[in-house]
Structure 1
Amino acid sequence: EFQKKRRLDLEKRGYNPKIINSTFVFSGWMGKVDYSLEDVIYDNMGIVSSVVTEGTSAVIVPSVANITSKMIQAHEFGVPVLTVREFNEKFDILNK
Structure 2
Amino acid sequence: MRLPRAAVVHLSRDGQEPQSERANSIEERIRAHVVLCWLALLLIRIIETTTDETWTTIRRELDRLHLGTFTGPTGLFRQVTTLTKPQTDLLAKLGIPTPKQIIALEPAPR
TM-score of Structure 1 vs Structure 2, range by shorter chain: under 0.3
> Under a length normalisation based on structure 2, what TM-score does the superposition of the two structures give?
0.26
Tell which structure's C-alpha radius of gyration is larger.
2
> Under a length normalisation based on structure 1, what TM-score does the superposition of the two structures give?
0.28
